[in-house]
């Protein structure tokens, strides 16, 4: 990934690759490398966020933030606690700034599709489109203020230097490998417990919480996968992704439904009878699709909980970890 020139290491520093490591040091080095990669992805996506021509740039930007926050949450205890708290707060602030625009981008991308699917005259959705575009402009302006702020500039600089220092410090942690194993198993147990408690009529908040746990578990597997049997980790990651996909669809539909409620509620006096009828049909379609996808959850979770997957988690991160 491209780095800013001012934050790039010197040629001499760049030549100093860490020596091959196993066991204790390997986990710490993997953690430092993963966080460094996420920082690189963040910086690489930043230009696209500023240009605002491709909505996937913001998606990549947010994914890098989420992955960073996840590793700081699960394994940040290996580093200086004061510094980790500061960075967790800063990345949470950055995530909040970037979230609103992404939701509106997805909403706007659905508008034309729904207009065609519901056979609504294009003019009927003009007030809705204008309202969404206005909110989107405000969200983007807020994000631009964030990215031009002194706090963000300082975060990037301090984070770059912290990672250099943290990689060296973490390598001396006597329990780094054990911590990686424990973090993966702890998150796996949390996923299995939350998933087992989900019922067909469980509140959407429970599914949101499970989705977040699945993401954190996947980020851990991807960050430390090279320390374990790649075939085994690949199977677990694939099974987890299948579960994540169905949770993502359910939760995204819920966000869209609430967003549609909010915007159409504010615009009701401006909407034609045709538009109000179309919005009602859209809400109904979203709710119906959400129920259909929720029905898939049970089967996906059962697949994830297959005996061979349970054995793999145990053998890789408990009995088989070295």
| Two tokens, residue 145 | 């203020």
Q: What is the mean pLDDT of residues 242-249?
A: 94
In a domain, 12, yes or no: no
Q: How far is CA 257 from the centre of its chain?
A: 20
pLDDT at 85 over 90: yes
**For position 267, what pLDDT does the model report?**
83
Q: How far apart are the first and last CA of the chain?
A: 31
Cα dihedral sign for 79, 83, 88, 94? negative
What pLDDT, in 10s, does the model give residues 125-183?
888 889 889 999 999 999 999 999 999 999 999 999 988 876 666 555 545 567 778 88
**Model pTM score:** 0.79
Weakest-pLDDT range from 50-54, 115-119, 277-281: 115-119
268 pLDDT tier (thresholds 50, 70, 90): confident
Q: What is the mean pLDDT of residues 265-270?
A: 82
In a domain, 56, yes or no: yes
Q: How far is CA 192 from the centre of its chain?
A: 20
Residue with tokens 């490591």: 21
pLDDT at 59 over 60: yes
Q: Which long-range contacts link 264-270 to residues 24+ away (Cβ below 8 Å)?
A: 264/128, 266/131, 267/127, 267/128, 267/131, 270/127
The whole-angstrom separation of Cα 225 and Cα 137 is 40
pLDDT at 9 over 60: no
In a domain, 9, yes or no: no
8 pLDDT tier (thresholds 50, 70, 90): very low
**For position 264, what pLDDT does the model report?**
84
In a domain, 13, yes or no: no
Q: What is the mean pLDDT of residues 67-85?
A: 88
User: What 3-state DSSP class applies to 306?
Assistant: coil
**For position 4, what pLDDT does the model report?**
40
Residue 282 region by backbone torsions, left for phi larger than 0, else alpha for psi between -120 and 50, else beta: alpha
**For position 269, what pLDDT does the model report?**
81
Q: Return the CATH number at 147.
A: 1.40.20.10
pLDDT at 18 over 60: no
Enclosing domain of residue 233: 18-319
What pLDDT, in 10s, does the model give residues 301-314?
999 999 999 999 99
In a domain, 10, yes or no: no
In a domain, 94, yes or no: yes
How many folded domains does the chain comprise?
Answer: 1
**For position 123, what pLDDT does the model report?**
84
pLDDT at 189 over 60: yes
In a domain, 149, yes or no: yes
Q: What is the DSSP string of 128-159?
A: HHHHHHHHHHHHHHHHHHHHTSHHHHHHHHHH
Residue with tokens 């009878």: 273
What pLDDT, in 10s, does the model give residues 26-38?
556 777 788 999 9
**For position 102, what pLDDT does the model report?**
87
Alpha-helical runs (H) found in 53-125:
55-75, 81-117
């Amino acid at each position: 990934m491209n780095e800013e020139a001012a934050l790039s290491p010197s040629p001499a520093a760049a030549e100093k690759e860490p020596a091959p490591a196993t066991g204790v040091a390997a986990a710490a080095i993997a953690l430092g490398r993963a966080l460094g990669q996420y920082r690189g992805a963040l910086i690489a996506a930043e230009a696209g966020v500023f240009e605002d021509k491709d909505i996937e740039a913001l998606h990549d930007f947010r994914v890098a933030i989420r992955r960073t926050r996840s590793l700081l949450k699960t394994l940040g205890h290996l580093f200086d606690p004061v510094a980790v708290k500061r960075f967790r707060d800063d990345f949470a602030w950055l995530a909040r700034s970037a979230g609103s625009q992404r939701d509106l981008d997805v909403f706007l991308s659905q508008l034309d599709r729904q207009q065609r699917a519901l056979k609504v005259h294009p003019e009927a959705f003009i007030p809705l489109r204008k309202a969404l575009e206005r909110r989107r402009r405000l969200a983007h302006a807020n994000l631009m203020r964030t990215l031009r702020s002194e706090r963000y500039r300082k975060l990037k600089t301090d984070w770059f230097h912290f990672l250099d220092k943290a990689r060296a410090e973490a390598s001396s942690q006597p329990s780094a490998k054990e911590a990686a194993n424990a973090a993966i198993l702890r998150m796996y147990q949390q996923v299995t417990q939350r998933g087992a408690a989900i019922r067909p009529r469980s509140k959407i908040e429970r599914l949101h919480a499970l989705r977040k746990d699945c993401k954190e578990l996947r980020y851990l597997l991807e960050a430390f996968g090279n320390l374990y049997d790649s075939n085994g980790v690949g199977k677990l990651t694939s099974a987890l992704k299948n579960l994540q996909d169905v949770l993502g669809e359910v939760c995204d539909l819920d966000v869209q439904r609430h967003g549609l409620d909010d915007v159409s509620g504010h615009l009701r006096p401006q909407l034609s009878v045709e538009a109000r009828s179309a919005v009602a049909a859209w809400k109904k379609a979203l709710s119906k699709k959400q129920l259909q996808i929720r029905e898939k959850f049970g089967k996906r979770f059962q697949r994830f909980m297959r005996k061979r997957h349970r054995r793999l988690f145990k053998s890789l991160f408990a009995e088989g970890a070295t």
